[in-house]
Amino acid sequence: MKKEFAVIGLGRFGGSIVRELMSQGAQVMAIDHSSERVDEFASIATQAVIADSTDESVLNSLGIRNFEHVIVAIGENIQASILTTIILKEIGVQQITVKAQNDYHEKVLRKIGADFVVHPERDMGIRIANNMLSNTVLDYLELSDEHSIMELKANDSIAGYSIMDLDIRAKYGINIVGLKRGADIIVSPQASDKILLGDIMLVIGADVDINRFVKKALNG
C-alpha cells in the first residue's frame, strides 16, 4: 500500500514536500487556509483541501488521524503551528514533523510532543556554507544541535589508506558508516577497506570533530 501523508501549509517548504512525496508515489493530502494555494495543488496532490488546521473539528472531519505522517509546514504564524501540533497530538497522529521558525519555537514544539522538528532555512544555509568552504563536503544532515552526518569526498590526502590506517575513530571521534564508490554503496565498511580517490565517505559524529577531520585530514 502507498504511504499516506498530510501536509499542512503549502508555502515553498510545504509545497516542495508535497511535490516530492507525490513524485515518490505516496498519497498526499495538501491542506492550507488559502484557496489560491489549494487551487495550485489541486492537480498535484492526491487531494487538496481548504481548511483551518487550528480547528480540531475540521481536522477530525478530514480523518487526519488516519494518516501515517503529518507535516506541519505553516510559515510565519507560530501560534497556528503550535496549536495545530497540539491538536494533532491529541487526535493521535502517529508521526508529526513540524517546521520551526527559530530555536524557541523548536523548544515549544518538542515540549508539546512533535516527533521531528526541522529548520529548513537554517539547515540549507549551513549546507551551502559547508559546500562553499570546502570542496570535500558534498552534503550535510543535522542530527541534533551538535551532531551531523556529512558526505565527504576522499582526496589525495587519504586515498590509498585503509580505515584502520587512518585511525579516524581514535583520532577524531567520528565514524565512517558508508562508502559510495560510483554506483556501489558499501554499508558499514570494514577497518581493512581501503579508501579510493573520489570515494564519498558517509561520516557521522559531533560537528566539531567532523570539522577537525575535514581541516586536518582532508584540507590540511
> pLDDT tens digit string along 91-149?
999 999 999 988 899 999 999 999 999 887 767 665 555 554 555 655 667 677 678 88
Cell numbers placing 84: 495545530
Q: What would the grid cell of residue 202 be? A: 558517509
Give the pLDDT score at 44.
Answer: 95
Is pTM beyond 0.85? Reply is no
How many CA atoms does the CB half-sphere of 3 hold within 13 Å? 14
Q: How many CB atoms lie within 10 A of CB 205?
A: 24
Average pLDDT of the segment spanning 149-177: 90
pLDDT band at 32 (very low <50, low <70, confident <90, very high): very high
Residue with cell 573520489: 198
Mean pLDDT of the 36-48 span: 96
What residues form DSSP beta bridges with 203? 150, 176
Residue 209 main-chain phi, psi, to 5 deg: -75, -40
Whole-number mean pLDDT of the chain? 87
Average pLDDT over residues 69-80: 92
CATH number belonging to domain 4-118: 3.40.50.720
The residue to which cell 589508506 is assigned: 161
pLDDT for position 1: 57
Residue 150 confidence (pLDDT): 83
Question: What residue spans define the domains of the chain?
Answer: 4-118, 134-218
Q: What are phi and psi of 134, to 5 degrees?
A: -145, 130
If one compares 60 and 146, the residue with the highest pLDDT of the two is 60
Angle separating helix axes 78-91 and 103-111, nearest 10 degrees: 20
> Who's near 144: CB < 8 A, 6+ residues apart?
none
CATH number for the domain running over 134-218 = 3.30.70.1450
Residue 152: pLDDT band (50, 70, 90) is confident
In order, the DSSP letters of 134-187 are -TTEEEEEESSSSEEEEEEE--TTTTT-BHHHHTHHHHHS-EEEEEEETTEEEE
Cα separation, 71 vs 196, in Å, equals 40
Mind listing the pLDDT tens digit for each residue in 204-215?
988 889 888 888
